[in-house]
Amino acid sequence: MQQYQLLYVTASSEDEALSIGRVLVEKRLAACVNVLPKMRSIYWWKGAIEEAHEAVLLVKTTESKAAEATRRIKELHGYECPCVAALSISPGNQEYFDWIEAETTDEK
């Protein structure tokens, strides 16, 4: 049985997030990407505490497409080590999951 995933991704800006999201949807690696344009992050990086404004991508995909979507995000991303975390979103609304499945099918 197909499993469905939400990829949580941070980006340096809304423009970068929109660019990555558009590629994922165009390539059918995601059925939908939500971009949340502004958040404030506090994190450790190379031994120092950093603060930054970032954007968030919520990528809806299938488990079978998650690895390829992650690879593509890493190719397109400006960060040395981008945050890409996969969360299972099953169970839930099966009609929604059927839509994700249909929209990530290559034969369109």
How many Å apart are CA 66 and CA 62, to the nearest integer? 6
pLDDT of 107: 62
Under 8 Å between Cβ of 55 and 13:
yes
Under 8 Å between Cβ of 108 and 28:
yes
Under 8 Å between Cβ of 12 and 61:
no
pLDDT digits (tens, 9 = 90+) for 38-97: 999 999 999 999 999 999 999 999 999 999 999 999 999 999 999 999 999 988 899 999
pLDDT of 2: 77
Distance of CA 97 to the CA centre of its chain: 16
Domains of the chain: 4-103 (3.30.70.120)
